[in-house]
Amino acid sequence: MFSIKQESMEILLFIYGLSFFVLGISVLFSRSRDSEYFFANKIWLLGVFAISHAFEDWISLFEYIHPKVKFPLLDYIQSFLLLVSYIFLFEFSRFVIRKSFLKSKHKNKLREHIIYKLYYPPAIYTLISIGLLFLIYLHPTISGINAAIRYTYGFWGAFLLGGGLYHYGDSLKKNQNTNTLKLYFKISGAAFAAYALFSGIVVDPISYFPGNIINTETFINIFHFPVQALRGLCALVIAAASIKTLGIFRYELVTKLNESYENIKRFSSNASHQIKTPLTALRLQIHLALKKNKNVQEYRDSLRAIDSEIVYLQDMVSNLLLLTRIQNMNIRENFQFVELDGIVLEIFEEYSVIAKNKGVVLDIKNLDYIQIKAEPTLLRILITNLIDNAIKYTPQGKKITISLIKSVFLISDEGIGIPQDKIPMIYDEFYRVNAPGKTHIKGYGLGLSMVKKIIEIHKAKIRINSKVDKGTSISVKFN
Ligand code: ATP
Ligand code: MG
């Protein structure tokens, strides 16, 4: 029988373990918590797989160097590490499969999709564990246990992950940043698939197919080199390509930077336009006042008009500043427990007076006691803006209802409503719907953009239902 040089095999086994170890460490250290990619939230699973796999391989190395030393416990530890590592791999692949194969096309029917149902944890884990136990029953030795783990969690985990990564790379949006990234996703996908195949070969001879025909011994007899060499190669490719795919976080950063640059550009051109209008009005007022001699009362009137334009400008500038501050602050770190019902009640009382003056009924239907983790000042701004809008856009004699049911804040008005096609725009800075007859309603179009930022910071959800001339209902669901 052919035998490879002892040292080369040792080096091979060592590098093999090392490549997984490096992969594990890089994954665990480079993941970004705030990433929007589903990948980032789950990639630690791959990290745990790689590290436990590295130790499993180093135990193999130890046993290879000291074939005479027999620690039965070590065998069990090795099988345990093998199982743990492949379960983590499988869980990661389950996630990749569920997410990357079911993109937006299927979104509505996602929950009914066969893949979605099959990969629901209780279903898939029951299925695969039955398979595992059955194979162990067929060959109940330590070699049999290892083969069963490889044939079930190992093979399917690596194989599905391979397919998933390949597909995921393909689904990235096309731009110059993604071309190389796509390639690395494909390489690591293919390497994982190949690794899956070799994983099924690295078994001792066992009593059932394919282990009875395809195993480490038959491989070396046919090809005259150990299958571990191919696995080692796969491990190196997987580690190198997977580490490169972590560039997805950098790609994300670049995309975010580009987006915020565009936002700033749009924001400043809007802002300068918005400031120009009241300034022009101011100049006009002053111009008129200076035109001919006037009596004291006329000068007073002019100054009053100028004053109100200045108040308007001041208000807008402070709103603008607030909006930029919300964008820059690292607010989540300063979250505290706040009683949402208390805040709602306070603002309700404040606004009752304003509503009454306008002849609009402002009513609280339900107010559950609820504590949430939040930034209290921002919560106030959020609720104030929603109530302010409801009062502003609801005509005299109509009604506004507020309720707080568990963690959902709800506000419904019988106001002028928002046309369906305009709803997506109302969160944009300075956007105002040009409804006929509401030209006298003053505003900067900044309220809802602040609301949107605050919602994002709190990871809350906002929903708007509106019908023109019937009214608007807005719900905000906090976590
Ligand atoms: P600001 O809040 O800065 O004073 P604004 O109220 O016009 O000004 P937003 O609060 O951002 O700005 O709202 C954007 C637009 O959405 C409003 O101009 C209005 O057309 C529409 N809108 C918002 N809430 C309502 C509502 N409850 N009913 C009808 N239209 C609404
Ligand atoms: Mg508003």
Q: How far apart are the first and last CA of the chain?
A: 65
Q: Tens digit of pLDDT for each residue in 309-328? A: 888 788 778 877 777 777 66
**Structural domain of residue 283, as residue ranges?**
250-328
247 pocket-lining for ligand 1 (C-beta < 6 Å): no
Whether 329 shows a pLDDT value over 70: the answer reads: no
The rounded distance, in Å, linking the Cα atoms of 234 and 16 is 9
- Low-confidence winner among 22-31, 109-118, 129-138, 219-228 (lowest mean pLDDT): 109-118
**For a substitution probing ligand 1, which of 389, 449, 465 has the most ligand atoms within 8 Å of its CB?**
389
What kind and span of H or E run contains 184?
helix 178-199
Report the number of distinct structural domains present in the chain: 3
Whether 31 shows a pLDDT value over 70: the answer reads: no
What string of DSSP letters covers 74-125?
A: HHHHHHHHHHHHHHHHHHHHHHHHHHHSS-GGGGGGGGG-HHHHHTSHHHHH
Predicted local confidence at residue 437, as pLDDT: 66
- Low-confidence winner among 122-126, 221-225, 387-391 (lowest mean pLDDT): 221-225
Cα–ligand 2 centroid distance for 268 (angstroms): 20
Scored b (16 or more CB within 10 A) or e, 410-433 reads bbbbbbbbbeeebeeebbbbbebb
Q: Are residues 274 and 346 in the same domain?
A: no
Q: Tens digit of pLDDT for each residue in 258-288? A: 777 777 777 777 777 778 877 888 888 888 8
433 pocket-lining for ligand 1 (C-beta < 6 Å): yes
Predicted local confidence at residue 4, as pLDDT: 58
Of 397, 407, 394, the residue nearest 366 (C-alpha): 407
Query: Averaged over 45-57, what is the pLDDT?
Result: 92
CATH number at residue 426: 3.30.565.10
Cα–ligand 1 centroid distance for 447 (angstroms): 7
List of residues 6+ apart from 427 with CB closer than 8 A = 448, 449, 451, 452
Q: Are residues 266 and 171 in the same domain?
A: no
Cα–ligand 1 centroid distance for 230 (angstroms): 64
Is 278 inside a domain boundary? yes
**For a substitution probing ligand 1, which of 314, 317, 393, 462 has the most ligand atoms within 8 Å of its CB?**
393
Q: Are residues 305 and 267 in the same domain?
A: yes
Scored b (16 or more CB within 10 A) or e, 435-454 reads beeeeeeeebbbbbbbbbbb
Whether 130 shows a pLDDT value over 50: the answer reads: yes
444 pocket-lining for ligand 1 (C-beta < 6 Å): yes
The rounded distance, in Å, linking the Cα atoms of 477 and 412 is 15
Q: Tens digit of pLDDT for each residue in 413-467? A: 999 999 999 999 999 888 899 866 666 788 888 889 889 988 988 999 999 999 9
235 pocket-lining for ligand 1 (C-beta < 6 Å): no
Q: Are residues 226 and 266 in the same domain?
A: no
Beta carbons of 89 and 24 less than 8 angstroms apart: no
- Low-confidence winner among 109-118, 136-145, 347-356 (lowest mean pLDDT): 109-118
Q: Are residues 203 and 56 in the same domain?
A: yes
Which residue has its alpha carbon closest to ligand 1 atom 10?
A: 447
- 309, 328, 347: which is the final residue of a domain? 328
- 180, 210, 245: which is the final residue of a domain? 245
Amino acid identity at 454:
I
Q: pLDDT higher for 14 or 129?
A: 129
Is 174 inside a domain boundary? yes
Predicted local confidence at residue 322, as pLDDT: 76
Average pLDDT, the chain: 85
393 pocket-lining for ligand 1 (C-beta < 6 Å): yes
- 328, 360, 387: which is the final residue of a domain? 328
Whether 128 shows a pLDDT value over 90: the answer reads: yes
Q: Tens digit of pLDDT for each residue in 365-416? A: 999 999 999 988 889 889 999 999 999 999 999 999 999 999 999 999 999 9
CATH number at residue 98: 1.20.1070
Backbone angles phi, psi at 399, to 5 degrees: -125, 145
List of residues 6+ apart from 215 with CB closer than 8 A = 201, 203, 204, 205, 206
Is 21 inside a domain boundary? yes
CATH number at residue 262: 1.10.287.130
Whether 2 shows a pLDDT value over 90: the answer reads: no
Of 331, 238, 211, the residue nearest 26 (C-alpha): 238
Whether 471 shows a pLDDT value over 70: the answer reads: yes
Predicted local confidence at residue 1, as pLDDT: 41
Q: Are residues 308 and 349 in the same domain?
A: no
Is 1 inside a domain boundary? no
Q: pLDDT higher for 106 or 161?
A: 161
Q: CA quadruple 301, 302, 306, 312: dihedral positive or negative? A: positive
Please give the C-alpha separations between residue 298 and each of 214, 280, 289, 292, 305, in angstroms, as whole numbers: 102, 20, 8, 11, 11
Whether 215 shows a pLDDT value over 60: the answer reads: yes
List of residues 6+ apart from 171 with CB closer than 8 A = 100, 103
Helix (H, G, I), strand (E, B) or coil at 414: coil
Q: Are residues 231 and 261 in the same domain?
A: no
The rounded distance, in Å, linking the Cα atoms of 321 and 269 is 15
Please report the atom of ligand 1 found closest to the CA of residue 438.
Answer: 20
Please report the atom of ligand 1 found closest to the CA of residue 448.
Answer: 11
Q: Are residues 316 and 418 in the same domain?
A: no
Beta carbons of 345 and 365 less than 8 angstroms apart: no
Q: Are residues 402 and 424 in the same domain?
A: yes
What string of DSSP letters covers 355-399?
A: HHHHT-EEEEEEE---EEEE-HHHHHHHHHHHHHHHHHTS-TT-E
Residue 259's CB is within 10 A of a number of other CB atoms, namely: 10
Q: Are residues 293 and 342 in the same domain?
A: no
The rounded distance, in Å, linking the Cα atoms of 231 and 342 is 62
Q: pLDDT higher for 34 or 118?
A: 118
Which residue has its alpha carbon closest to ligand 1 atom 18?
A: 432
SS3 string, 442-468, reads: CCCCCHHHHHHHHHHHCCCEEEEEEEC
- Helical pair 227-245 and 216-223, crossing angle rounded to 10 deg: 100
Query: Averaged over 164-183, what is the pLDDT?
Result: 76
Cα–ligand 1 centroid distance for 457 (angstroms): 21
Predicted local confidence at residue 96, as pLDDT: 83
Q: Tens digit of pLDDT for each residue in 70-119? A: 788 888 999 999 999 999 999 999 888 877 666 555 555 666 677 777 88
Is 239 inside a domain boundary? yes
Cα–ligand 1 centroid distance for 100 (angstroms): 38
> Structure pTM?
0.57
**Which two structure tokens, joined as six digits, stand for 166?**
């390949």
How many Cα atoms are found within 13 Å in the side-chain-facing hemisphere of 107?
A: 3
Predicted local confidence at residue 175, as pLDDT: 64
Whether 154 shows a pLDDT value over 90: the answer reads: yes
Whether 131 shows a pLDDT value over 80: the answer reads: yes
Is 151 inside a domain boundary? yes
Predicted local confidence at residue 410, as pLDDT: 97
List of residues 6+ apart from 206 with CB closer than 8 A = 138, 139, 143, 144, 147, 212, 215
Q: What proportion of the chain, given as a percentage, has pLDDT over 70?
A: 91
Q: What proportion of the chain, given as a percentage, has pLDDT over 90?
A: 38
Q: Are residues 442 and 460 in the same domain?
A: yes
Q: pLDDT higher for 329 or 432?
A: 432
Q: Are residues 387 and 291 in the same domain?
A: no
Cα–ligand 2 centroid distance for 452 (angstroms): 12
